[in-house]
Amino acid sequence: MNHSPWLAQLNRTRPIEPLSQNLSADTIIVGGGIAGISTAFFILTKTTHSVVLLEAGKVAHAATGHNAGQITSYFEKTFTELAERYGIVRTTAAHKAIEEDARILLESIFVQAQLTTPFSQFIGHDGLSREDQVIKYLSDMQKKALAGLRVRPMLVAKEWAGYLTIPHELIPYILVVSQENILSVLETDDTQFIAAIPFLSGCMNSAMFSEELVGYLLSIYPDRFTLCEHTAVSKVVLGKDEVLLHAGINTVTGSQIVLCTNGFESIEISNPHGEDIDTAFHHEVQGVVGYMAGYKEPLTKAPFASIYSHEGMNESNPYFYTTRRPYENGVNSTAYNLTCIGGPEVYLPDRATYDANKEYPMEVSDRIATFASRHYKHSPHMDFYWHGLMGYTKSWVRLVGHERKNRRLLYNLGCNGVGILTSVYGADRIARILNEEILAASIFDPQ
């Protein structure tokens, strides 16, 4: 059972058109999730290239149709960890890029393509339950603030503030409030939470967004844009003067290829005139299956997002997160709020394939029910259970840009668990690279 509320909302009428002849284009995009469709948008709007986009299944039916839909700039490594690896300058630029530029880019797509997909923005909260978490994230906030990034003060419960040993220099980054206030912003009855970090959040059905956007591109660029669904690319040959893709009995040639595949799938990459790319590529991304459940309730509360227990970044001790947004399914149906709960994750063995139709494990639904009853003092009846594949690069940072061993190959992939804004940011960066703009080095550059 894999029943996504986002795919249930799609009202798709477009027929599926697979690749049925050999084609050529300036740029070939592989993958029709939010990364591939946004990359097509920026290439078509910012360059004169023709684009062929090849999608193995249907547009937006992979991770883009199976996520939590939070619009958040969250990095899954702290600022401190990223700065140790990439330096302060690049890490600060990356934070600005995702916290500010990516949101502006997303809004610019909405405006230019006149999209009607619902999109909301609000402040979410990240709940902390231990002193070491409080100190670690305050210290991270201090580094971000010193680098010139905007930080919102951490809310710390006054009932606990006196027991916490907070270094003097971190005091400017806290705001002491009642614990009741903290539990209220986290919408929980669980008194383990002693602090909360506010963050800019939002909600969007990224499948609906991608489907609407691809419709716009097909209607505005009929001469420059071709979409082929149900077209799995099996082999890419990177030649000296062109790239050649094999998909079934047909081929597509182009000047360059952009892989927007979330990092997976069985594409053989041949680089006959240079170093081997295939081996490293197939070991670059770790597959992680993320599980979610959601329930409908009356439309009485505002959109909401929260994260609980910041530290649990492994299988046995997952962090949980919730989002709530208005939800309507079908033209005549009543509008509800849909609250989604996510957290449990399962790591896939190297090169193992993910089965999107795999039964939802009872053990996972039990864990979600346990979380719900601890937080809300009741176990809501779930209307949806779904799972999706996340691709974690070794660095836990998305790859955007040229493959160094052959510049005809570019990537916008390796989503990690928070990839909507980074996909859109990566899409714009790819178009700017193809436009031969000089860009500063970035933490997203493939190493």
Ligand X SMILES: Cc1cc2nc3c(=O)[nH]c(=O)nc-3n(C[C@H](O)[C@H](O)[C@H](O)COP(=O)(O)OP(=O)(O)OC[C@H]3O[C@@H](n4cnc5c(N)ncnc54)[C@H](O)[C@@H]3O)c2cc1C
Binding mask 80-119 for ligand X (x = CB under 6 A): ----------------------------------------
- 19, 105, 233, 257: residue in contact with ligand X (rule CB under 6 A): 233
Beta carbons of 237 and 243 less than 8 angstroms apart: yes
- Tell me which residues in 30-69 interact with ligand X (CB under 6 A): 30-36, 54-57, 61-64, 66-69
Minimum CB distance to ligand X smaller for 179 or for 416: 416
Minimum CB distance to ligand X smaller for 5 or for 36: 36
Concatenated DSSP letters of 101-157: IHHHHHHHHHHHHT--S-EEEEEEEEEE-SHHHHHHHHHHHHHHHHTT---PPEEEE
User: What's the CA gap between 400 and 440, in Å, rounded?
Assistant: 13
User: What's the CA gap between 316 and 346, in Å, rounded?
Assistant: 9
Minimum CB distance to ligand X smaller for 31 or for 139: 31
- 127, 202, 342, 343: residue in contact with ligand X (rule CB under 6 A): 342
Select the residue whose beta carbon is closest to ligand X and give its number. Answer: 419
Instruction: For the CB of residue 131, give the shortest distance to ligand X in the complex, in Å.
Output: 28
Residue 149 sits at the vertex; the CA angle it makes with 143 and 152, to the nearest 5 degrees, is 85
What are 429's two structure tokens?
């960066």
Instruction: For the CB of residue 39, give the shortest distance to ligand X in the complex, in Å.
Output: 9
User: What's the CA gap between 105 and 107, in Å, rounded?
Assistant: 5
Residue type, 49: H
Instruction: For the CB of residue 68, give the shortest distance to ligand X in the complex, in Å.
Output: 3
Instruction: For the CB of residue 48, give the shortest distance to ligand X in the complex, in Å.
Output: 24
Measure Cα distances from 379 to 4, 272, 374 in Å.
20, 57, 9
- 5, 344, 401, 417: residue in contact with ligand X (rule CB under 6 A): 417
Beta carbons of 125 and 186 less than 8 angstroms apart: yes
Instruction: For the CB of residue 357, give the shortest distance to ligand X in the complex, in Å.
Output: 14
Among the listed ranges 45-53, 149-157, 173-181, 258-266, the one in contact with ligand X (CB under 6 A) is: 258-266
The reply to whether 413 sits near ligand X by the rule CB under 6 A is yes
What are the phi and psi torsion angles at 327 (to 5°)?
Answer: -140, 130
User: What's the CA gap between 249 and 205, in Å, rounded?
Assistant: 35
Nearest to 356 by CA among 287, 435, 415: 287
Among the listed ranges 182-190, 295-303, 349-357, 385-393, the one in contact with ligand X (CB under 6 A) is: 385-393
- 128, 151, 182, 260: residue in contact with ligand X (rule CB under 6 A): 260
Count of residues that interact with ligand X, criterion CB under 6 A: 43
First to last CA, the chain: 38
Name the one residue in this structure whose structure tokens are 């929260």: 306
User: What's the CA gap between 72 and 120, in Å, rounded?
Assistant: 11
Name the one residue in this structure whose structure tokens are 């959601």: 294
- Tell me which residues in 274-333 interact with ligand X (CB under 6 A): 290, 292
Minimum CB distance to ligand X smaller for 25 or for 138: 25
User: What's the CA gap between 136 and 130, in Å, rounded?
Assistant: 10
Measure Cα distances from 309 to 64, 231, 312 in Å.
25, 41, 6
Minimum CB distance to ligand X smaller for 70 or for 91: 70
Instruction: For the CB of residue 61, give the shortest distance to ligand X in the complex, in Å.
Output: 6
Binding mask 202-231 for ligand X (x = CB under 6 A): ----x-------------------------
The reply to whether 344 sits near ligand X by the rule CB under 6 A is no
Minimum CB distance to ligand X smaller for 16 or for 170: 16
Minimum CB distance to ligand X smaller for 194 or for 318: 318
Minimum CB distance to ligand X smaller for 39 or for 50: 39
Neighbouring-strand partners of residue 256:
27
Nearest to 195 by CA among 154, 162, 144: 154
Minimum CB distance to ligand X smaller for 7 or for 54: 54
User: What's the CA gap between 309 and 114, in Å, rounded?
Assistant: 38
Minimum CB distance to ligand X smaller for 157 or for 236: 236
The reply to whether 5 sits near ligand X by the rule CB under 6 A is no
Minimum CB distance to ligand X smaller for 7 or for 421: 421
Q: What is the three-class DSSP state of 281?
A: helix
Site residues, ligand X (CB under 6 A): 30-36, 54-57, 61-64, 66-70, 72, 206, 232-233, 260-262, 265, 267, 290, 292, 342, 388-390, 413, 415, 417-421, 423
